[in-house]
Amino acid sequence: MDGFPLPSQIGDVPGAEDWRSMYPYFTRFQPEDDKRFWFYNSMHFPEPMPAFDTVTAEIPYQAIGSNTARLFVFPTTLGIEHRIVNGRVYITANPVLDPAEVERRAAAFGPRAAHYYENWDALYEGWKERLRGLINEIESVSVPELPEWEPESAVFSARGVSQNHYLLENFRKCLDLYSRAWHHHTEMLMLGYGAYVVFFQFCTEAFPEISDQAVARMVAGIDVIMYRPDDELRRLARLAVELGIDDLFADGADPGQTLSSLTDRGDSGRRWLDAFAEARDPWFHVSTGDGFYHHHLSWNDDLTVPFAALTGYVAAVKAGTLHDRPTEELRAERDRIASGYRSLLSSAEEQAAFDQMLGLCRLVFPFVEDHKFYCEHWFTTRFFQKVKAFGALLARFGVLAEADDVFQLRHTEIDQALSDLSLAWAAGSPPLGGSHWPPIVAERKRMLKVLRDWSPPPALGPVPEALNDPAVRMLWGVTSERIESWLHPSADEVVGVAASAGVVEGTARVLHDVNEIGSLREGEILVCPVTAPSWAPVFGKIKAAVSDIGGSMSHAAIVAREYGMPAVVGTGDATRRIRTGDRIRVDGDRGTVRVLEGHGSSEHGPEASS
Amino acid sequence: MTELTQPLSEAGGAGVAGVAGGKGASLGELARAGIAVPDGFVVTTAAFTAALAAVDPDGSLRASVEALPADDVPLIAERAGAFRERIRAAPVPREVAAAITSAYAATLRSPDISDMSPEEPDPGVAVRSSATAEDSAGASFAGLADTYLGVRGAASVLEHVRRCWASLYNDESVAYRRRIGVPETGLAMAVVVQRMIAPRAAGVMFTRSPVTGDRSVVAIEGTWGLGSALVAGDVTPDSFAVSKVTGEITARRVSAKERLHAYSPGAHGVTVSETPEHLRREPCLTDAEIVALASAARRVEAHYGVPQDIEWALLDGDAPAESRVVFLQSRPETVWASRDAAQIATPLPRPADHVLSRFTRPL
């Protein structure tokens, strides 16, 4: 029988044999792991993991598992386990298969889940409050400055505790807050997906050939936060034209330069800057990635992305081609599809059940769609910036060459480096880390580069008879058909999730980072690792979208459907296998991308910085 | 007296039921519902009855067929075969032959929907049997009766009409009737005569999935040229599915279509050949054509109120796809109609109960 390699059969990538030194012992494959089915979580972890960034697996998985298995007691599923091999994160879900055990858990699950569903909106309001609280807390964590002497005030207020004490406490506070944010993240999310799974399964039973997209379109929200950052940019572009300061938004202009020029433009400049300041908080906290790597920065961290988009929008306003999202039409379309399927059901009873399930989905979906902005975007970009500030401190004392190097250390290693710094500052000697960490950091950076070229098998271990975990099916789209395509890959065909219907042929433009959108030409097909709301301006120029990461409810999928262009998402490796300039056919009905002519250059575009 | 022939556009209309046979009546109804069908006429069951009166005046031949045991295959073959020979050998009664010849001449004069070879005086016709018991939702005789393509000249039309009449006594048809106990008396065979068309592509479609029974899709199968390649199993067709709700093409599978059945008026008639290399792996329909077919199928489904099983053809030319769609047959879908599933879900006291009950069993 054909199958996937066993975890024990995966050899070390030559030149990066020491990859294990970057990751905690509890992420290593064990001999008995050969008996289970694992798949590569390319959706969240498309790149080799820098040592610190493994917290984005460690902490989310302890949060997801405890919420499903222990807090709500989902009857059919426990938690998710993860392992790291050659820098890549593999996961497996622990389903509950024994019917008696399912029944025992169901008795506990019923009242717990019902409490959330029945009080959903009120609980969601409270949830937003708690998340804003966590965001305030992470922003207010102070990074000790470690001056030569403590200020006199420390003495006169009899503080008694010196700053070096707070090094560890405050760093650990960051991790503590990150963990809390993730517990809240999964607190409501798994129930939200539960409602979606149930509606989805009803639809596929009633209409066996219904596409994932059609189900998603009946449920999708119209006024969701995800569109807000892009809406703000359109508003700012219109304002710039209205105030007659649009000349400052020229192609390739430096954002800092533009902002300082605006201060010389009198009242108009001031009015625009006020509007800009208002839009930035919170809407520019949107991430250029999806929050699983430290280099996923927010617009506020790096203004080049929103300013590149602004330039395009200003030009569109002047050309009279900038249109708002047709929300009324989208709403009508969503209702037309839902009533179309409803009318094809065989009885009034089924229609009533359909109404209940769809209603429940629409109740939970504002959370499902908006939570990312609070967690992965707003909170997480603040979290990484704070950790980076500790990195800057370590760099100032010579422990690291530069602030970003802190992400090459595991969080427990950062603890050690901070202890070292604390001792050295107290003793009046240089920290010993200055000779210890820099060679380790350099070696890890080198290994990550080597590991980047490894093509991880999509799955490991024996093929399961049945895929029983709803999270695995819904979040990662791992179905029997998917496993089949992994087992029998086609040489010139890239397989992913059919996210938006239609078939289109054209020239590929592979962009690894949203900063490269300037190179995109009208009518090209975008091939990218993942899209986030900050990519929205791209969609006006392209005729199809292909991404490495994402499911039928991902950002690229939703935006592509709104623009009516074909999209294939969650391909895993489209950005590796397709080159800029290749002629490709995107089949958004079947979820495949075929390379028709490999004209593309073999050079990669610039990789996302690490 | 009942007419011996009827223009196709009147066949099966109110007050003339029963005389056009299933296929003829269905084509007439399609035409009246505004769906393009190739022009033609029906040789009614009255013509068949007149012809059979000459062959089997006292009904003894039919009685002997009705007496056949369903499981005696050699005996069925012997008696049915002899009966068919009698029908094919007997001259067509004079007034019947005159009616057919005149209707045939009128068909040749009619405006051509496919503007095929305007200089060609005789584009040929298809002669198709149209039994009274066939094509009903309850008992499908699909494939058990005969169709002749590219028939030219009045004499040949008369000859093929007799063959269609005789096909009522095909071994398989007789055996089938004996198995389910249909009486032989009162059975009659009408015949449809239609102008030939030379389609770019043709095939079948269902207004629900034949594979899954899904009522939200139109499933289309097609190949290059005549649909006979597909019906005869001579080619693996391309297949497409169109969502009735979103209008999107939700599935497409393009096959290597090795064989091609084509029609050209004149000496060649129907030809069977290898599909030209450059066409084999090309989809036989454009997206616009797929959508036009699905839309016509939905009109017919709405007209009849039940899912349909349709034979279609798509004319060549540059006209918009919707004006090139031609239907050759439409009848109620029978397979899924008889096994429609029980209730999938019923309303529960609270919406959340759907989730609670779903998660109490393995997914």
DSSP-H helix ranges across B181-226: none
Contact A531, A555 (CB under 8 A): yes
Query: B201 has which bridge partners?
Result: B224, B314
Query: Based on the number of CB atoms within 10 Å of its own CB, is B278 exposed (0-12), middle (13-18) or buried (19 or more)?
Result: exposed
List of chain A residues whose C-beta atoms are within 8 Å of the C-beta of residue B216: 207, 209-210, 340-341, 344
Residues B159 and B221 in one domain: no
Q: What is the mean pLDDT of residues B54-83?
A: 91
Domains in chain A, CATH or no CATH each? 490-597 (3.50.30.10)
The answer to whether the peptide bond before residue A282 is cis (omega within 30 degrees of 0) is yes
Residue B325 forms contact with A (CB below 8 Å): no
Which residues touch A598 (CB under 8 Å, ≥6 apart)? Answer: A579, A582
Mean pLDDT of chain B: 86
Interatomic CA distance for residues A513 and A60, integer angstroms: 25
Residue at B348 is within a domain: no
Nearest to A206 among B243, B244, B344 (CB): B344
Residues B46 and B122 in one domain: yes
Residues B131 and B29 in one domain: yes
Nearest to B212 among A113, A209, A214 (CB): A209
Residues B168 and B218 in one domain: no
Residues B209 and B273 in one domain: yes
Residues B220 and B300 in one domain: yes
Residue A349: count other Cβ atoms within 10 Å of its Cβ: 14
List of chain A residues whose C-beta atoms are within 8 Å of the C-beta of residue B347: 349, 352-353, 355-356
Residue at B344 is within a domain: no
pLDDT in tens, A262-313: 999 999 999 999 999 999 999 999 887 778 999 888 899 989 888 888 888 8
Tell me, what CATH number does B149's domain have?
3.30.1490.20
- Residue B113 has a pLDDT of 61
Which residues touch A257 (CB under 8 Å, ≥6 apart)? Answer: none
Closest CA to A585 of B252, B241, B288, B242: B252
Q: What is the mean pLDDT of residues B177-186?
A: 83
| Count of structural domains, chain B | 2
Tell me, what CATH number does B211's domain have?
3.30.470.20
Residues B221 and B151 in one domain: no
Q: In this structure, what is the dihedral angle of CA atoms A27, A29, A32, A33, given to the nearest 10 degrees?
A: 90
Interatomic CA distance for residues A28 and A44, integer angstroms: 19
Share of chain B above pLDDT 70, in %: 89
List of chain A residues whose C-beta atoms are within 8 Å of the C-beta of residue B250: 209-211, 214, 501, 589
SS3 letters across B58-102:
CCHHHHHHHCCCCCCHHHHHHHHHHHHHHHHHCCCCHHHHHHHHH
How far is CA A270 from its chain centroid?
Answer: 35
Lowest-confidence pick of A87-91, A185-189, A489-493, A510-514 = A489-493
Q: What is the mean pLDDT of residues A469-473?
A: 64
Predicted ipTM of the assembly: 0.80
- Residue B296 has a pLDDT of 96
Q: Report DSSP letters for A484-505, one per residue.
A: HHHHS--TTEEE-EEEE--EEE
Which residues touch A149 (CB under 8 Å, ≥6 apart)? Answer: none
Residue B73 forms contact with A (CB below 8 Å): no
A97 contacts B362? CB cut-off 8 A:
yes
Interatomic CA distance for residues A501 and A217, integer angstroms: 12
Residues B225 and B186 in one domain: no
Residues B136 and B54 in one domain: yes
Of B148, B179, B195, the residue that ends a domain is: B195
List of chain B residues whose C-beta atoms are within 8 Å of the C-beta of residue A202: 344-345, 354
**Between residues B13 and B219, the one the model is more confident about:** B219
Residue at B323 is within a domain: yes
Residue B15 has pLDDT above 70, yes or no: no
Q: Report DSSP letters for B230-283, one per residue.
A: HHTT-S--EEEEEETTT--EEEEE-----EEEEEETTTTEEEEEEPPHHHHTS-
Residues B119 and B216 in one domain: no
Minimal C-alpha gap between A442 and chain B (Å):
47
- Residue B73 has a pLDDT of 86
Lowest-confidence pick of A236-245, B114-123, B341-350 = B114-123
Q: What is the mean pLDDT of residues A565-575?
A: 85
Residue at B346 is within a domain: no
Structural domain of B277: 201-339
Give the type of residue at A91.
I
Of B195, B223, B257, the residue that ends a domain is: B195
Query: Based on the number of CB atoms within 10 Å of its own CB, is B260 exposed (0-12), middle (13-18) or buried (19 or more)?
Result: buried
pLDDT in tens, A474-499: 666 677 777 777 777 777 788 888 88
Contact A420, A22 (CB under 8 A): no
Residue at B355 is within a domain: no
Residues B42 and B176 in one domain: yes
Query: B50 has which bridge partners?
Result: none
Closest CA to A553 of A89, A293, A195, A109: A195
pLDDT in tens, A169-180: 999 999 999 999
Closest Cα in chain B to A336: B245
pLDDT band at A607 (very low <50, low <70, confident <90, very high): very low
Residue at B352 is within a domain: no
Tokens read off for A479: 């179905």
- Residue A485 has a pLDDT of 75
Give the type of residue at A23.
Y
Contact B352, A114 (CB under 8 A): yes
Residue B316 has pLDDT above 80, yes or no: yes
Residues B191 and B55 in one domain: yes
List of chain A residues whose C-beta atoms are within 8 Å of the C-beta of residue B217: 207, 209
Residue at B313 is within a domain: yes
Of B195, B230, B245, the residue that ends a domain is: B195
Residue A447 has pLDDT above 80, yes or no: yes
Minimal C-alpha gap between A433 and chain B (Å):
52
